[in-house]
Structure 1
Amino acid sequence: MSFEPKYKVELDPPKDDVISLDYLSRCDGTHEDHPTYVAIKGTVFDVTGNKAYSPGGSYKVFAGRDASRALAQSSLKEEECRPDWEDLSDDNKKVLNDWYTFFSKRYNVKGKVEGATNQ
């Protein structure tokens, strides 16, 4: 997996706002008055504008939730889009860390999931 974006991305300084699960769930790309967010290991990334995370997009299943487990397992199954990942294999944990790095080089960090214990 290549971590560097094809084009230079100017990112804002990371925010450490607390984002409730309720608010995160509304950031799923279906509400015009909300951004589109994906959380990984409790960190919330703003993926607004990337059509892959919008309704009908190939990665829409990740939007509005902490999708750590699914990303670690390279799964697009909705039931795998959940925050727990600590019980996964070392290989899966490496994949998850690679996804975290990938997102951190492309998307602004908007905060942390309220009460997240999976960091």
Structure 2
Amino acid sequence: MSAPEPKNFAPKQPVALAPPKEDPISVEHLAKCSGANPDYPTYVAIKGTVFDVTGNSSYAPGGAYHVFAGKDASRALAKSSVKEEDALPEWSDLSEKEKGVLNDWFTFFSKRYNIVGKVTGASNL
């Protein structure tokens, strides 16, 4: 029996990513980036870091993960939940297992999507 693959979350096809940005993004601006308005990109924030998921239909209205778009969805990702009420930035009170899941999601996103900024005033880094 061979050893399991390491958890590196590398995409099947290599993704050319831009250098991460530290641009401040307000919660109000982030909310406009929900995929509902074609004049704005589609963003998902995790632990205060904003990822550009524009072009992935899963985050567009009607998509399986649309609940995450336009907000910091750290709690929902940690809990593997697609419930609107779980799509919140607060995660510090979660179990160690859930925090590990959240860190895995952060790694997954960071290997696939450009980091475009940080949520202004985020305390959940």
Pick the TM interval, shorter chain.
Answer: over 0.9
Cα distance in 2 between the residues matched to 1:59 and 1:6: 20
Q: Deviations over 1:64-87 (max 9, x none)?
A: 000000000000000100000000
Q: Which residue of 1 aligns with 2:56?
A: 50
Q: Residue 73 in 1 paired to residue 79 in 2?
A: yes
Partner amino acid, structure 2, of 1:96: L
TM-score (norm 2): 0.94
**Which runs of 5 or more structure 1 residues have no equivalent in the other structure?**
none
Instruction: Give the counterpart of 2:98 among 72, 85, 92.
Output: 92
- Once superposed, which parts of structure 1, at least 4 consecutive aligned residues long, lie more than 3 Å away? none
Partner amino acid, structure 2, of 1:59: Y
Partner amino acid, structure 1, of 2:15: V
TM-score (norm 1): 0.98
SS in 2 for 1:38: strand
Q: Which residue of 1 aligns with 2:110?
A: 104
Number of equivalences: 119
Identity of aligned residues (%): 65
Tell me how large the CA RMSD over aligned residues is: 0.8
Q: Residue 5 in 1 paired to residue 19 in 2?
A: no
Cα distance in 2 between the residues matched to 1:106 and 1:115: 25
Q: Deviations over 1:28-87 (max 9, x none)?
A: 000111000000000000000000000010000000000000000000000100000000
Cα distance in 1 between the residues matched to 2:37 and 2:16: 26
Cα distance in 2 between the residues matched to 1:78 and 1:6: 30
Q: Residue 19 in 1 paired to residue 25 in 2?
A: yes
Cα distance in 1 between the residues matched to 2:87 and 2:8: 23
Between Structure 1 and Structure 2, whose CA radius of gyration is higher? 2
**Which runs of 5 or more structure 2 residues have no equivalent in the other structure?**
1-6
